[in-house]
Amino acid sequence: MKRRLKGFVAIFISLTILFLAAAPVGATSVSSLEKEKEKIEQQKREADERKKKEQANYNSASGKVDSIQTEVDEIEGEIDEIDAALVETIASVEMIEEEIGEKEDQIAQTMADYEAAKEVEQQQYDAMKLRIKFMYEKGDVTYLELLLESSGFGEMFNKVEYIEKLYEYDRKLLEEYQLARQAVEELQQKLEDEKAELEAQRHELEEEQASLEAILTEKKAAYDNYETQLAKAKQEAAIYKANIKKQNDEIKKLEAAAAAKQSEIDRAKQAEEEARRAQEEALRKQQESSSGDPGSSSGSGNGSSKSYASASSYSGSGGKGQQIANYACQFIGNPYVPGGTSLTNGADCSGFVWRVYKDFGYTVPRTSYSLRSAGTGVSYSEAQPGDVMCYAGHVGIYIGNGQIVHASTQRTGIKITNATYKEILSVRRIV
Return the exposure string of 298-337: e unless at least 16 CB atoms fall within 10 Å of the residue's CB, then b.
eeeeeeeeeeeeebeebeeeeeebbbbbbbbebbeebebb
Average pLDDT over residues 297-314: 61
pLDDT in tens, 207-228: 888 988 899 898 889 889 988 9
**Positions marked catalytic:** 349, 394, 406
**Distance (Å, whole) CA 241 – CA 58:** 6
**Distance (Å, whole) CA 113 – CA 184:** 7
Long-range contacts of 48-55 (CB under 8 A, 24+ apart): 48/247, 48/251, 50/247, 51/244, 51/247, 51/248, 51/251, 54/240, 54/243, 54/244, 54/247, 55/240, 55/244
More confident residue, 276 or 60: 60
Average pLDDT over residues 40-57: 90
Give Cα 397 distance to the centre of its chain. Answer: 16
CA 320-326-331 angle, 5° bins: 130
Is residue 19 predicted with pLDDT exceeding 60? no
User: Average pLDDT of the chain?
Assistant: 80
pLDDT band of 298, cuts 50, 70, 90: very low
Query: CA torsion, points 325, 331, 335, 340, in degrees to nearest 10?
Result: -60
pLDDT band of 205, cuts 50, 70, 90: confident
pLDDT in tens, 383-420: 999 999 999 999 999 999 999 999 999 999 999 999 99
Lowest mean pLDDT among 59-68, 329-338, 406-415: 59-68
Predicted local confidence at residue 61, as pLDDT: 86
Going from the C-alpha of 166 to that of each of 126, 130, 159, 163, the distances in angstroms are: 15, 13, 10, 5
**Distance (Å, whole) CA 72 – CA 367:** 13
Q: DSSP character for 22? A: I
Give Cα 64 distance to the centre of its chain. Answer: 15
**Distance (Å, whole) CA 284 – CA 81:** 96
**Max CA separation in the chain (angstroms):** 207
pLDDT band of 143, cuts 50, 70, 90: low
Lowest mean pLDDT among 99-108, 272-281, 368-377: 272-281
**Distance (Å, whole) CA 181 – CA 125:** 13
